[in-house]
């Protein structure tokens, strides 16, 4: 705006203000006596400041803290003002109100109401002026800056911002070596239990417990009734599941290519075991199981509530090792080829929950490269409405990428997290000892939900001679000395396996964008 026009506007405003106030002063004097002359000086200076700040185009500057301290001490030095007219933490209108309170005589209720109405009209006019388009840029001028809203105030106003931290790990693959070790430990301890799996998870448990929701693939069915067995017809003692719960896991995927290994009785007993675990944990325990659907329950979406937010979990598998669903089975898995049903479940999950996590049991075993079919299906699942995709089954890690769903959402997909706990001896492979832990944060705000801070954290199944003390460890807690003593070197002669081998393999397969190396 032209400086001459600014000065003319200021002079016009000042003359109008003085004329109006001379009239008001005469009436006020009759009712309340003479108003101190210094009031007019205060009013005059403040009005000139307010209107000049509203008309002139200035840069935004924060108030000088030293000026604020001087003002509190009674000094009259003026600090720099921002575009909203703030000076020393008060707008010109706030300072004007303070001056009026200090200088004006006390009014009767009727007179106060009249003045409040006048002030309201004047404030409305000022707001209209301040928010009008700038004559040069055509944009609205920014309002005065304000402090961030405290979390408590946000909650009171319904502006909750909630973060739910999440982890996921791959196959908990229990074969004869592992459950025999667990049985021996239980016997040596003299405790009243058949199997002690706690040491398998002890080292990683503190990290898991730092997070709110922890997902794991239960590769083999678990029961308290069936005899334990290994490959190819897996059956795992229920004490493994109890140890996982004690270590901090609370979401269990029961859908894999081994779900039908023990036929109808295996399915029935697996259902019974996990229902018991949920009942023992109670509502406060918050245990969620997914992937094994009781007949007729396909539209009952498994949901876990955490911090008032609902997370839905769905799991599907490519197959069940050529074993068809037994005709008398009380439950069944859902196959990846049943995309219409998958889409329906994801749609229901989006209606019932704040976030939808989908796991896909897919890919080629011991192949680090995800297939084109995996990539295409991942995109379709993202388009269906998944917010996060967790892949598994190959027993080795695969890559990860950020997909863009049809509606524009960003959907992270980890194609395979590899094994979690294992002692695979039928096909010894050092890469099967190396897995990934997916970590991320579900952030909920008024604007919606986002999944952020994706990280793929290396983990290992570490054991010595004859699979001694097989347990899971974070790579960040691992050492070259431990790597050189790993059974992969001492038992199978994989001399290339060492601390750097883990880093090099993961970097080559996963890349550096999401991989979190120590």
pLDDT per position as a tens digit, 25-40: 444 444 444 444 444 5
Q: Which long-range contacts (CB under 8 A, 24 or more apart) does 498-505 make?
A: 501/430, 502/434, 502/458, 502/460, 502/475, 502/478, 503/458, 503/475, 505/431, 505/434
B/e letters for 357-376, b = 16+ CB within 10 Å, e = fewer, are: bbbbbbbbeeebebeeebee
Locate 19 and state its tokens.
Answer: 């004329």
Among 117, 147, 177, the domain boundary falls at 147
pLDDT in tens, 194-234: 999 999 999 999 999 999 999 999 999 999 999 999 999 99
Based on the domain organization, do 141 and 273 belong to the same domain? no
Do 174 and 31 reside in the same domain of the chain?
A: no
> Looking at residue 44, what is its pLDDT?
56
Peptide bond into 299 cis (omega under 30): no
- Asked whether residue 348 carries a pLDDT value surpassing 80, the answer given is yes
User: Do the domain assignments include residue 304?
Assistant: yes
Per residue in 311-341, pLDDT (tens digit) is 999 999 999 999 999 999 999 999 999 999 9
Rg (CA), the chain: 34
Tracing tokens 């009767």 back to the chain, one arrives at 108
| 130/203 same-domain check | no
Cβ atoms within 10 Å of 179's Cβ, excluding its own: 22
Q: Percent of the chain scored above 90 by pLDDT?
A: 66
Residues 342 and 246 in one domain: yes
* Residue-level pLDDT at 361: 98
100 with 190, same domain: the answer is no
Q: Residue 87 forms beta bridges with which residues?
A: 90
**Per-residue confidence (pLDDT) for residue 84, from 0 to 100:** 33
| Helix, strand, or coil (residue 500) | helix
In angstroms, the CA 251 to CA 141 distance is 50
Question: Based on the domain organization, do 208 and 274 belong to the same domain?
Answer: yes
Q: Is residue 515 part of a domain?
A: no
**pTM score, whole prediction:** 0.71
Q: Which two tokens stand for residue 103?
A: 């200088």
pLDDT of residue 43: 53
* Beta carbons within 10 angstroms of residue 228's beta carbon: 24
Same domain, 36 and 161: no
Domain-embedded: residue 109:
yes
Query: Do residues 202 and 247 make contact, with C-beta atoms less than 8 angstroms apart?
Result: yes
**283 & 408 share domain:** yes
Are 447 and 374 members of one domain? yes
Tell me the average pLDDT of the chain: 79
Pair 350, 497 in one domain: yes
Cα–Cα distance list, 384 to 256, 333, 405 (Å): 22, 19, 8
For residue 438, what are the β-bridge partners? 168, 456
Q: Please check the confidence at residue 268 and state whether its pLDDT lies above 70.
A: yes
Residues 355-372 have a mean pLDDT of: 98
Statement: residue 119 has pLDDT above 80: no
Task: Identify the domain containing residue 280 by its residue range.
Answer: 156-510
Residues forming beta bridges with residue 316, ordered by sequence position: 360
Residue 67 lies in a domain: yes
More confident residue, 294 or 80: 294
Q: How many residues does the chain have?
A: 518
More confident position, 105 or 302:
302
Domain's final residue, options 147, 174, 204 = 147
Choose one of 96, 113, 147: the last residue of a domain.
147
- Pairing of β 293-294 and β 331-332: antiparallel
Residue 517, domain member (yes or no): no
Asked, for residue 516, whether it belongs to a domain, the answer is no
Residues 290, 194, single domain; the answer is yes
| Number of separate domains in the chain | 2
Say if 518 falls within a structural domain.
no
- Kindly report the backbone phi and psi dihedral angles of residue 58, in degrees, each rounded to the nearest multiple of 5, phi listed first: -125, 165
When comparing pLDDT for 456 and 89, which is higher? Answer: 456
Q: What is the DSSP letter of 235?
A: B
- What's the pLDDT band for 502 if we cut at 50, 70, 90? very high
What contacts 54, CB < 8 A, 6 or more positions away?
A: 85, 126, 129, 130
Burial of 433 (0-12, 13-18, 19+ CB in 10 A): buried
- Do residues 446 and 316 both lie within one domain? yes
Name the DSSP class of 430: G
In-domain check, residue 330:
yes
| CA distance linking residue 235 with residue 246, whole number of Å | 21
Does the pLDDT of residue 296 top 90, yes or no? Answer: yes
């Amino acid at each position: 705006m032209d400086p001459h026009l600014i000065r003319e506007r200021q002079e016009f405003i000042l003359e109008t203000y003085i004329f109006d106030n001379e009239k008001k002063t005469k009436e006020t004097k009759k009712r309340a006596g003479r108003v101190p002359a210094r009031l007019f000086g205060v009013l005059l200076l403040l009005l000139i400041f307010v209107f000049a700040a509203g008309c002139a185009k200035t840069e935004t500057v924060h108030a000088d803290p030293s000026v604020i301290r001087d003002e509190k001490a009674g000094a009259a030095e003026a600090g720099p003002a921002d575009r909203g007219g703030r000076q020393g933490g008060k707008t010109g209108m706030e300072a004007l109100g303070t001056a009026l309170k200090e200088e004006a005589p006390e009014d009767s209720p009727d007179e106060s109401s009249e003045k409040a109405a006048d002030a309201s009209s004047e404030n409305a006019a000022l707001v209209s002026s301040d928010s009008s388009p700038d004559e040069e840029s055509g944009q609205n001028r920014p309002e005065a800056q304000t402090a961030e809203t405290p979390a408590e105030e946000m909650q009171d106003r319904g502006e909750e911002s909630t973060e739910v931290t999440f982890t996921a790990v791959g196959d908990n693959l229990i074969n004869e070596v592992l459950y025999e070790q667990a049985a021996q430990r239980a016997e040596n301890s003299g405790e009243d239990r058949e199997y002690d799996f706690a040491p398998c998870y002890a080292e990683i448990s503190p990290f898991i417990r730092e997070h709110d929701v922890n997902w794991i693939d239960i590769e083999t069915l678990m029961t308290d009734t069936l005899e334990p067995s290994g490959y190819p017809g897996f059956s795992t003692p229920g004490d493994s599941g109890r140890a996982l719960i004690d270590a901090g896991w609370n979401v269990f995927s029961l859908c894999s290519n081994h779900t039908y290994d023990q036929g109808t009785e295996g399915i029935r007993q697996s259902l019974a075991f996990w229902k018991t675990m949920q009942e023992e944990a109670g509502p406060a325990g918050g245990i969620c199981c997914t992937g094994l659907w009781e007949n007729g329950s396909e539209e009952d979406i498994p949901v876990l509530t955490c911090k008032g937010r609902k997370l839905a979990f769905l799991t599907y598998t490519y197959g069940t090792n050529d074993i068809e669903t037994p005709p008398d089975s009380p439950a069944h898995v859902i196959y990846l080829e049943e995309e219409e049903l998958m889409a329906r479940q994801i749609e229901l999950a989006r209606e019932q929950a704040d976030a939808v996590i989908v796991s896909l049991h897919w890919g080629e075993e011991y192949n680090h490269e995800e297939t084109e079919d995996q990539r295409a299906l991942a995109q379709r699942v993202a388009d269906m409405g998944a917010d996060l995709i967790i892949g598994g089954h190959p027993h080795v890690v695969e890559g990860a990428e950020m997909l863009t769903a049809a509606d524009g959402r960003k959907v992270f997909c980890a194609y395979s997290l590899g094994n979690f706990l294992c002692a695979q001896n039928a096909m010894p492979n050092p890469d099967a000892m190396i897995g990934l832990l997916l970590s991320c944060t579900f952030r909920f705000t008024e604007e919606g939900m986002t999944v952020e801070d994706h990280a793929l954290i290396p983990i290992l199944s570490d054991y010595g001679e004859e699979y001694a003390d097989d347990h899971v460890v974070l790579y960040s807690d691992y050492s070259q000395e431990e790597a050189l003593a790993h059974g992969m070197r001492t038992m199978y002669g994989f001399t290339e396996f060492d601390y750097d081998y883990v880093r090099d393999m993961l970097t080559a397969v996963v890349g550096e964008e999401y991989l979190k190396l120590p």
